[in-house]
Amino acid sequence: MNNIDDFIENKVKISDYVNANDFAKKDDKMRMDFSVVIPCFNSGETLERTVISVLNQTLKSIEVTIVNDASTDEQTIKKIEELERYVSVIHLEKNGGLSNARNVGIKASSSEYVLCLDSDDFIEDVYLEKAKEIFDSNDQIGVVSPSVQTFGEVDVSWMPKKNFSVDAILSLNRVPVASCVRKAVYDDVGGYDINLRAYEDWEFWIKVFTSGANWKHMVIEDKLFYYNVHSDSMQHSMSSERMREVLTIIFEKHKELYKKYSGDIFLNLHIQHTFDRFEKRYKDAQLEQRNNQIKQKNDQIKQKNEYISELKNSASFQLGNLFFRSVQKPYKFLTYPYNFVKILLKK
């Protein structure tokens, strides 16, 4: 993808990338290799960008489904109507949360491989093709993860580890949310927990990688997933009390595992790690923002000082100043003609 900046800045239009007629003529009975599920709740501002990144994949045997989670925003509703020319849309009558929307989309899919992609993120155009090649190489591979590039309020990149221990996945989410999954994996672990309104993807990975099926995890080193970090992100806005509540639910679901691996310690470590991580990133981002603001102010002050200096050296300013001082001190009025001529000759 050569125009990453346009995607990050959300300056892309679907008509510039795909033709609606190409999708309207597709045979519904045609077997697709990949199903991409895009849950959407009032995120119409970024949804088109996400859809474009999927339809623009080098792998063309893809079915794309937007799951409209009972959006109420007019902009989102209108945008979904526009995109329905290109992709399938499932309209939910009642908002059920991200886990439920994903499960609905996955259940409706007919492909062997599935990607759940949030409606404010996007992917590189070779991602699904590379993931399919890896899946096809070994039936035991259940999850394929990309390396990640964040954008928005945080700009970092990271590559997940191929192998991690059970205690590692219990203590911290090690798998990117936009990892591709073999559909058989969903059947094995029962999808996402609809009772969780946070960390639902982490709890899903816990089930996957502690499953008796021994699913393998593979990693693509290339940065193929662009993750939008913003102030409304769940981990940013969640209080420590709320975080502990959600983590306790996860702990109770996997109590035996956590008992085996000292669950109480992991709860506290995760909370501390998460807050330390985002505090450092935000402090760095805020410091850079303040430094830029200070630089802008200094540049403005410098420009004003230069203007004032130029103004003070001008003949009109000096003449005006001379007249003002002569009015304040009349006895100096005697020198006014001499200084007047001096200023004009200097000019």
Distance between CA atoms of residues 283 and 214, nearest Å: 40
- CA-CA distances (angstroms) from residue 215 to 36, 42, 141, 206, 207? 21, 35, 6, 12, 11
Chain segment 98-152, per-residue pLDDT in tens:
999 999 999 999 999 999 999 999 999 999 999 999 999 999 999 999 999 999 9
Distance between CA atoms of residues 235 and 253, nearest Å: 21
DSSP letters along 255-304, please? Answer: HHHHHHTTHHHHHHHHHHHHHHHHHHHHHHHHHHHHHHHHHHHHHHHHHH
The pLDDT score that the predictor gives to residue 25 is 46
* 123 exposure class (CB count in 10 Å sphere: 0-12, 13-18, 19+): buried
DSSP H stretches of helix in 313-335: 315-328
Distance between CA atoms of residues 148 and 159, nearest Å: 6
The pLDDT score that the predictor gives to residue 317 is 63
Q: Are 65 and 109 in contact (CB under 8 A)?
A: yes
Tell how strand 157-158 and strand 141-152 pair up. Answer: antiparallel
Q: Are 114 and 132 in contact (CB under 8 A)?
A: no
Tokens 């109590």 map to which residue? 255
Task: For the chain, give every domain's residue range.
Answer: 4-230, 232-313
The pLDDT score that the predictor gives to residue 324 is 56
Distance between CA atoms of residues 235 and 240, nearest Å: 10
Distance between CA atoms of residues 91 and 66, nearest Å: 8
Low-confidence ranges of the chain (pLDDT < 50): 25, 331-334, 336, 343, 347
Q: Are 143 and 76 in contact (CB under 8 A)?
A: no
Output the 3-class SS for 13-27: CHHHCCCHHHHHCCC
DSSP assignment letter at 31: P
The pLDDT score that the predictor gives to residue 124 is 97
Distance between CA atoms of residues 86 and 343, nearest Å: 75
Residue 336: what residue type? Answer: Y
Tokens 């590189």 map to which residue? 124
pTM: 0.75
Specify the CATH number for 4-230; select among 1.10.1740.10, 3.90.550.10, 3.60.40.10, 3.40.50.720. Answer: 3.90.550.10
Torsion angle in degrees (nearest 10) through CA of 209, 211, 213, 219: -10
* 139 exposure class (CB count in 10 Å sphere: 0-12, 13-18, 19+): exposed
The pLDDT score that the predictor gives to residue 154 is 87
User: In the chain, how long is the greatest CA-to-CA distance?
Assistant: 105
Does an H or E element contain 237, and which? Answer: helix 234-237
